[in-house]
Structure 1
Amino acid sequence: MVVIYGIKEQLNPIKAQLSDVIQQSMTQVLNLPEGKRSHRIVPLDKSDFYYPEGRTEAYTLIEINMMEGRKVATKKALIKALFANIESQVGINPIDIEIIIKEQPPHCWGFRGMTGDEVQDLTYKVNT
């Protein structure tokens, strides 16, 4: 699951495009199917979104929640693909993008009536 935070005046006009680019990057690097998209867009009032000095109002925080198991190189490749694809396709400078990958053990995930460590039919690999 991906959660995207930003100032509403900046985020709302680009949210569909940004979601497409994030999914494209995740498909490219993690081999996730297009239908695996699970994005939450959280547009915030400027008064509710504090961000680091030196950033603009385009500052966007992308939080990626995934089952643990992927190699460090794979996660780094995803982060770099996100920076490059978002800059080239959406126009947000990498200085205004923050990406956080949060991993949880498969047994901490629940979907389709089972836990992540019980699922046998994923169409993509987690340990890559």
Structure 2
Amino acid sequence: MIIIYGIKNNLNPIKSRLSDVIQYCMNRELGLPDDKRSHRFFPMEKEDFYYPGSRSDAYTVIEINMMQGRRDETKKALIKSLFTEIENTLGLLPVDIEIIIKEQPAHCWGFRGMTGDEVTDLTYQVKV
């Protein structure tokens, strides 16, 4: 699950393209299939979104929640890929993007009536 926060006047016009870029990077770096897109956008009023003074109104926060198991090198490659692709595709400067990866053990995930450590039919690898 990926959660994206930003000022609504800046985030709303790029939501669809940003989702495509994020999914492209998730596919390329983690091997996730396209049908595993799970993005939630939270466009906020400017007065409700506090951010560092050295950032512009384009400041965007991307929280990536995933099961533990990916190597540090894989997670770093994902972060760097996101910075590059978002800048190249949408023109958002890396200084205006914050990326946080939050990992939880598989037993803390619940989907399709089971926990993540019980699932045996994932179409992608977690340990990459």
TM range (shorter): over 0.9
Q: Per the alignment, in what secondary structure is the counterpart of residue 118 of structure 1?
A: coil
SS at match of 1:120: coil
Q: Could you tell me which residue of structure 1 aligns to residue 30 of structure 2?
A: 30
Per-residue CA deviation, residues 40-85 of structure 1 (Å, 9 max, x unaligned), is 0000000000001210000000000000010000000000000000
Percent of paired sites with the same residue = 67
Please give the alpha-carbon distance, in whole angstroms, between the structure 2 residues aligned to 1:96 and 1:120: 39
Provide runs of 4+ in structure 1 moved above 3 Å: none
Are positions 1:8 and 2:8 aligned together?
yes
Instruction: Report deviation, 1:103.
Output: 0.2
* Unaligned segments of structure 2, at least 5 residues: none
Task: Determine the structure 2 residue equivalent to 1:83.
Answer: 83
- Using the TM superposition, give the Cα deviation of residue 122 of structure 1 relative to its aligned residue in structure 2, in angstroms: 0.5
Tell me which residue corresponds to 2:20.
20
Instruction: Give the corresponding residue for 2:125.
Output: 125
Pair 1:97-2:97 in alignment: yes
- Alignment of 1:42 with 2:73, yes or no, is no
RMSD: 0.4
Alignment of 1:48-87 (within 5 A): 48-87=48-87
Instruction: Give ranges in structure 1 of 5+ residues lacking alignment.
Output: none
Distance in 1 (CA, whole Å) between partners of 2:92 and 2:9 is 14
TM-score, scaled to structure 1: 0.99
User: Could you report, residue by residue, the CA deviation over 1:86-125 in whole angstroms, capped at 9, with x for unpaired residues?
Assistant: 0000110000000000000000000011000000001111
- Determine helix, strand or coil for the equivalent of 2:56: coil
TM-score normalised by length of structure 2: 0.99
How many pairs are equivalent? Answer: 128
* C-alpha distance in 2 between matches for 1:91 and 1:64: 21
